[in-house]
Amino acid sequence: MKHGVILFGYGLLFGIGLVVAGMSNPANVLAFLDVAGAWDPSLALVMASALATLGGARHWLHRNTEAADHEQDTGATPAAIDTRLVCGAAIFGVGWGISGFCPGPALVGLTAGLAGNYVFVAAMFAGFYLFKRFHRSN
């Protein structure tokens, strides 16, 4: 229970950071992606703070759980970069660039009541369902 509360706190902190930084607004995200025009680097700062938050959570988990100790002992290796990974990353990037929505900010943006958020989140969950239904992992 204690771990869940702490991790919920990290997620809540990240969500609040997205709202404060304006990243639940797709116009701000699209401004970051417009490197040839009126580029807005503020999303890079949000990404850096997200990585710092993740680093803090991982550090805390690795210090306080036996599962993390076991994970380190197994010597797990990262997955290879293959066609599926590259295609998935490309689909994600194209979707992000077209819509201005990323999954985290879109979920946070549901509280803003913007119709685009609801459409995006519905499509995202439909994609999750279709992937699970039609994709058989190796």
The predicted model gives 66-80 an average pLDDT of 59
pLDDT at 76: 54
pLDDT(66) > 70:
no
Q: Which domain holds residue 122?
A: 2-134
What is the pLDDT averaged over residues 52-75?
Answer: 70
Mean pLDDT of 105-125: 84
Greatest C-alpha distance within the chain: 49
Quick one: pLDDT band at residue 126, thresholds 50, 70, 90? very high
Tell me: pLDDT of 94 over 60: yes
Residue 57 has pLDDT above 90, yes or no: no
Number of domains in the chain: 1
- d(CA 53, CA 40) in angstroms, rounded, equals 22
